[in-house]
Amino acid sequence: MTIKRIWHGWTTPENGDVYENLLRDEIFPGIEARGIRGLRGIELLRRELDDSTAFITIMTFDSLDNVIDFMGDDYARSYVPDAAQKVLQRYDDFSSHYEVTESRRYD
């Protein structure tokens, strides 16, 4: 059973690039360096709004047990390092977890 861990955060438009670079250069590599069993990937979505820049991260895990390996027993809690908190206007305190029941690719 594949699990998608979905989280939302928002910055000011001025901090959009700052936050995206922080994710690419520090946060994602730091997560990858932990060698978390069952972590299959991280996707980053970005959307410019009138007064903010919205981000969604989607992490793919083999199972909920792997999410618990990443976050511990309080696995729904968001992972927002201090450096990210400094540039985010607001963010989800908790991530949502969805079981993938079907996936189709059209390449």
* Low-confidence spans in the chain with pLDDT less than 50: none
Q: What is the pLDDT of residue 1?
A: 84
- Burial string for 28-50 (b: 16+ CB within 10 Å, else e) reads eeebeeeebebbeeeeeeeeeee
Residue at 105 is within a domain: no
Query: Looking at the domain assignment, is residue 67 inside a domain?
Result: yes
Give the model's pLDDT for residue 29: 97
Nearest to 4 by CA among 29, 32, 28, 39: 39
Domain with 55 in it: what CATH number? 3.30.70.100
pLDDT at 55: 98
Total count of domains within the chain = 1
Query: 93-104 burial, b if ≥16 CB within 10 A, otherwise e?
Result: eebeeeeeeeee
104 assigned to some structural domain: no
CB 54 within 8 A of CB 10: yes
- Is the full-model pTM beyond 0.75? yes
| Domain presence at residue 88 | yes
Does 93 map to a domain? yes
- Domain assignment present for 107: no
Is residue 106 one of the residues assigned to a domain? Answer: no
Range of the domain at 65: 3-99
